[in-house]
Amino acid sequence: MRLLLTSTFLLVATLSFAQSQKDERTPFIAPEAAPKLERVLPPPPGLIDPRFYDDWTQYQWGLSVRDSERGQQARSDAFLNTFYFMERFSPVMDHPVTQEANPKLYLLLQRAHATEWTSNASVKAYYHRVRPYQQFKEPTLVPEHESPTDYSSYPSGHTMVSWLVGMILTAIDPQHTEGIMKVAYEMGQSRVIAGYHYQSDIEAGRYSASILFARLCAEPEFMTLLEQARLEFNGIQSPRPKIMKRRR
């Protein structure tokens, strides 16, 4: 009997863990229902396009600051996950945010990241743009992430998710909009410094995040979790649903 109870407990625990993992990685929008960003974004500038001059000059700026404190920050910004987002944005918010203190916000950001990842796959494959380090045959700040065949520079996914997180956190803590969006901006520019993206990739990533955020606002599940995270952040309990009493 004890063996049966133990086995049952382990099975339930395993299923619960699997379900929580699935929930954390479940996008708010199915890939086929996500905005087709390639129908919105213009093509990235080619090598002989006058707009590419800005990409090249920004790349040179990135090279010039790699050995500075800003360059160290750019390397740190390359390793994105929800824990890092909370750590990176906390200093400019009303109070620190952590998974333990803000589980609803953690889940919201996890799922938003999953949504971004599935939403930009189509446009990256469509434009298939060579990355700066591949084009110029120069090392990056994050050599462990380099790949000779990863042609997915446009738009920048790191920038897209950082800007999306910034917009979500602004909706939760509007009093610190400037500080939050400044961090989101810096995280995008870090990709230029690291040598993984052109400036036009960064700008397209911000446009893409704005489009995705607007689309997410039409999803009841996203809006519900966003409101729960806002109440949680402000130390307010979510209102309980009213129970209708039966009339006798």
The domain spanning residue 119 has which CATH number? Answer: 1.20.144.10
Compute CA 2 distance to the chain's CA centroid, rounded to the nearest angstrom: 46
Instruction: Give residue 57's domain range.
Output: 50-144+151-233
3-state SS, residue 7: helix
The number of folded domains in the chain is 1
Which are the catalytic amino acids? 158, 191, 197, 201
Confirm whether 201 is domain-assigned: yes
Instruction: Give the separation between CA 106 and CA 85, rounded to whole angstroms.
Output: 9
Instruction: Give the separation between CA 26 and CA 47, rounded to whole angstroms.
Output: 38
- pTM of the predicted model, to two decimals? 0.88
Confirm whether 56 is domain-assigned: yes
Confirm whether 34 is domain-assigned: no
Per-residue pLDDT of the chain (248 residues; tens, 9 = 90+): 544 444 444 333 343 444 445 588 899 999 999 999 999 999 999 999 999 999 999 999 999 999 999 999 999 999 999 999 999 999 999 889 999 999 999 999 999 999 999 999 999 999 999 999 999 999 999 999 999 999 999 999 999 999 999 999 999 999 999 999 999 999 999 999 999 999 999 999 999 999 999 999 999 999 999 999 999 999 986 555 555 555 54
For residue 236, the model assigns a pLDDT of 84
For residue 247, the model assigns a pLDDT of 52
Distances (CA, A) of 160 to 128, 137, 148, 154: 17, 25, 23, 11
DSSP states along 173-186: -GGGHHHHHHHHHH
The DSSP output letter for 93 is S
Confirm whether 44 is domain-assigned: no
Instruction: Give the separation between CA 26 and CA 7, rounded to whole angstroms.
Output: 28
For residue 60, the model assigns a pLDDT of 98
Confirm whether 176 is domain-assigned: yes
Name the residue among 129, 140, 183 with its Cα closest to residue 161. Answer: 183
Confirm whether 12 is domain-assigned: no
Confirm whether 188 is domain-assigned: yes
For residue 12, the model assigns a pLDDT of 38
Q: Are 190 and 78 in contact (CB under 8 A)?
A: yes
Confirm whether 31 is domain-assigned: no
What is the length of the chain?
248
